[in-house]
Structure 1
Amino acid sequence: MSVRESVLRLLLVEDRVEDAERTASILRNGGTAVRPTRVESEEQFQDLIRKQPFDLVVAGVEAKIIPIERVVEIVESSGKDVPVIAVLSELSDQGVQAAFASGVPRVAPRNHPEILQFAITNAFAAVEARRSVRRLQAALRETERRCDALIDSSRDPVAYIHEGMHIRANQAYLEMFGFEEYEDIEGLSLLDLVATGHADNFKQLLKRISKGEQPPKNMQLTAQRSDGSTFEAEMEFTPASYESEPCLQIIFRQRTIDADVVRELDELRQRDQASGLFNRTYFMAEADRLVAEAAEGGQDRALLLIEIDNYDAILSDIGIGATDDLLQAITSRLRKVLGDEHVLSRFGEMTFAALLRDSNHALTEETANNVCTAFRGQILDVGSRSVSATVSVGAVQIGERIASTPQVLDKAAQGLGNAAALGGNRVELFDPGARDRAEEQRILARVKEIEAALEENRFVLHYQPVISLHGDEGECYEVFIRMKLPNGELVPPMSFLPEAEEHGLMGKIDRWVIGRSLAIISERKKQGKDTSVIVNITTSSLHDAKLPELIGNQIKKLEIDGSRLILEVPEAKVFTNLKLAQDFQRAIARHNVQFSLEQFGSGVNSFQLLSHVDAQYLRIDRSFMVDLAKNQEHQKKVKEIAEKAQALGKKSVAVFVEDATSMTVLYTSAVSLVSGNFLAPAGSEMNYEFG
């Protein structure tokens, strides 16, 4: 898939909104479909990179919100394949060296759009190619595993022959001829397995096949086992290839075996005979399957390697004759603690392996510690002896970045070795996506802070004036929420709203903001000022069937004009929750409350939405404000939205106005209202002189 055929999910780390928007615009203008997200804090960045799929991170080297070194550290610790591109305002030797020193392999200049676009699209193409390779590798492993599994599980003895020699044979084939392992038959001539009476005819057949003659479909002969005994057999021949080499597939047909016997044989082939656990071959096939799922983005899978500590000392104590008893005692203990829901295998002499599904970092750590606890301070009954043994565990949380079985096993073995080197009786867990577990504790602590702030009324509002370009009477402010900590520190919205939304607290916060806004409207009325307040609400409020009635009761109680309250929802959220938005808008309209569409114009046909939802205000998407004075396409779009809104009797709002030249453009358009830091930043007081 080419870059142009897929959407680039871009995470931007920039101090200025304008820089982030400019990067997204450069990509869009170059024909790249982009879905940009700008972060405003380190906490938000960690949350997004952990929970959502992104393709690239573009970070300003000079950014203060998150230092470039910290950006690289967070991305690497996430365990995800997300390249980081460092962006420089000036392409100086010092800046480039600083970027490379932070660990970023790619650097691009912010003020050279062509180079910046080239760097981003090439990095995107590279990450797409790597993902494609991982998918192909996983598919190949799965195909090979399935082929091997089909051959191994076949009730028919199957072998592959190249130039008359065995190069592959399944277990049924080995059992038929009395061999224990494939090494016993590897390189052995097929002619050696044919009884003397049929040897000459079979030899001539092999010669004809070697000269390019097609083999017969089947052949009946007398076969000979390794112990010299013979049996009647029918052979099927099929041209095939093995490891890219042309060969001959041969299937020996015998009498039909009872189905129950077949099932028993299949079960035996999967099991280690001494312990009764799955054998290493079966375990590796299952590990390949789980790793392939991880390569496709699957999560919550883990592998454990478990080894008895000080095995040599224990063996010298109990004697080699009690090895089987020790193995059974250990196996019984492991089965008891791990249960049947995990794949438990004997991996070595006294090394065991387990595959865990639906096991995140916390569960994997808990399971591994439970394994250690099951042996720590406990007695194992080994025949007539009682021994005390501990285990070490090397655990790996399987993720996209280590989505190959050898890598997973290497990490597990490394962890096992480290645990043993530290004296054993411990767990070492490798989890590339969760190196800093303190982040989870931080989120839980933040949620408690939000709940406490709601209970103790410790939220405050800041106000940014929204100014009429047509001299309308009255004043208008947009409100922004802040959370006050017990020590008086004000926490910006993006540092707590994501956690609030994730934990279902946004509905309560919306109610608080709306209630406080209505109180402000009442307070301003008593001061002789007609103040309108714009409140951005979430979809939680759209689901709150009781909210319109509560708003109406409060308006009636405060004796204020409901039209002074303007509730705003993003256009995309209204589109995806259309029925709820329609019902909500109609319900608040009964109290004369106004409805606004935020990010208007970002959809394919935004005005079509107005035939379904009666919005009185249209807040133009901020992307159109980037380089408004120079970008004629943006000017055309803003003018088009404003004129259509005016024709429909709607008020258009231009936001994020940052310079005088943009204001000049807006004055000549039909835009109704404007806001932005150029006019006045948000503050804790409503003190703007509307004149």
Structure 2
Amino acid sequence: MTPRESVVRLLLVEDRVEDAERIASILRNGGMAVRPTKAESEDHFETVIGQQSFDLVVVGAEARLIPMERVVELVEASGKDVPIIAVLNELTDANIQRAFDSGVPRVAPRAHPEILQFSIANAFAAVESRRSVRRLQASLRETERRCDALIESSRDPIAYIHEGMHIRANQAYLEMFGFEEFEEVEGLSLLDLVAPAHAEEFRQLLKRLTKGEPPPKTMQLTAQRGDGSAFEAVMEFAQASYEGEPCLQVIFRQRSIDAEVVRELDELRQRDQVTGLYNRQHFLAEVDHTAARAAEGEKELALLLIEIDNYASVLAEIGLGNTDSLLEACAQRLQKVLGDEQVLARFGEHTFAARLEKSNHKKTAETADKVRAAFDGKILEIGEKSMSIWVSLGAVQIGERIATTQQILGKASQCVNAAMSMGGNRVELFDPAAGDRAEEQRIQERVREIEQALENNSFVLHFQPVISLHGDPGEAYEVLIRMKLPSGELVPPLSFLPEAEEHGLTGRIDRWVIGRALALISERHKLRRDTTLFVNITASSLMDEQLPGLIGRQIAKLGIDGSRLVLEIPESKVFTNLRPAQEFAQALKRFHVGLTLEQFGSGVNSFQVLNHIDADFLRIDRSFMVDLAKNTEHQKKIREIADRARDLGKRTIAEFVQDAASMTVLFTSSVNYVSGNFLAPPGPEMNYEFG
């Protein structure tokens, strides 16, 4: 599913506005944020595809406005990577073949919203991946260019080998073997630079490398120059790539000391001189390797970051001269707890790190807590001093969803910082799978809370005034629902309505709110207050054939004016449920109940829906209210909507009014009503003083 924060820019080719709007609505209902543009003609299509950026083109396969074949030609002529999806009225072999023949590689059925939504989301994900790859390739080319410059200027003799042949060598390498130009060594087998005494051993190594085996870190042999002279050398190997091709990086070092000393020096380069643990550089290489294994699907890998709590205070107590003794004592304690099976390193000034093998979520948590407990107030001998210290740990369960060194270390750092911010001496563990489990448990708990609120009548209503700009009599409020938990906490609608919709509970909630609103209208009427209440309903209520009759019976029972109740439904929900919405609206008219279209103006052609639904109010989409005083385009759009609505006999509401400057703009327009926190925030009482 496309994340909500990723806005999908759609260019739609449909003969009918309703069809284009329906596609946009299907995507919005599925959680995708879309910005649709409908092509009005072939010239318009050619102009916008050339001047604007689009993510996808969605074309009706039967569209006559711009034929599908012509759409393909125009997109190809633009030179842009914009996928095309053909929407088929009937998913037949002939229709699919026609789309493929026209050059459209993706098709989706119009009659199956879930498949249509999946196809568009999949195409968007694919084009985003290609864009990401292109960005990475550009970054890689720049990195390779810089690396190439560094290699050329390096005094280390470095060469790149592909299938045993030289494809690149720097000047230091050429000088070592007595060559003047790279052309002398280009295509030369690396085996030709190995003395006969070691030729067979090196030939076997090359065979193993061609089978995909990793190279050794080093190899000692006798090398041979072009003039036949030989010298003792140590070869260092590393897997690399050159101009996009996998290859082997080789560094020749002339050996002037014995093998044992070489091994000792190599070991020293990997170790921290104070603690004897691996150093940061070596550990980062280990994490890189671990991340690659995780990306290939290997599981039960984890990382620990261990940091001394209140390090500055500890240092002040033991004295700066005992810093090394402190770190050495901590390293010994960690080695005792973790043993030799795990890679343990000094990662920072007072931070240690461990890479855990064969460690699932449970074992990682146990190991981390074991490390914490090993320090928990226990005595450490630090030089001539003895003191207790505590540590905080950030643990990360490594997997395919977190399989880069940057991600792993970033999450571990966040976790250890969180542990220290909560007082230290604790473990914070990040596990993507555990997060999924926790989210599922949270959803289940929320559903139970909603069901209990319905059973126990635990919902609460708040009211926000809807104020007339033209002095209309009476008073009006928008009804906003809250859920009251047993603890007394009030939960806002966005924190429970998505789960309610997913589990089929919104219809019951709508009925509860409508019933309560009618009762309140009756109570206000008895107090001689003519109060109109605007009540939001969900799409499930449009499908409830019994709801209009239930409302009508309640109105008759209470003896109230049905026009005091106005039900509100988003414009997009009406477009995608047009037939049920029409029947629902017609049924409400029998009882004089009003209807509002919410989020009006956000669609491809919002006024088109009024040809099918006789709405009383149009609530202008709140996106047009953002920075209204300075945004002339938004001002123009609001005036256009308000003027056209007035001509059609519809009343408009501008919500989300945040400042006096916005009110000034609205006063000069044809907008009928306004609401927003600048005028009055929602509250549990209907006590606003209408003029």
TM-score by length of 2: 0.43
TM-score by length of 1: 0.43
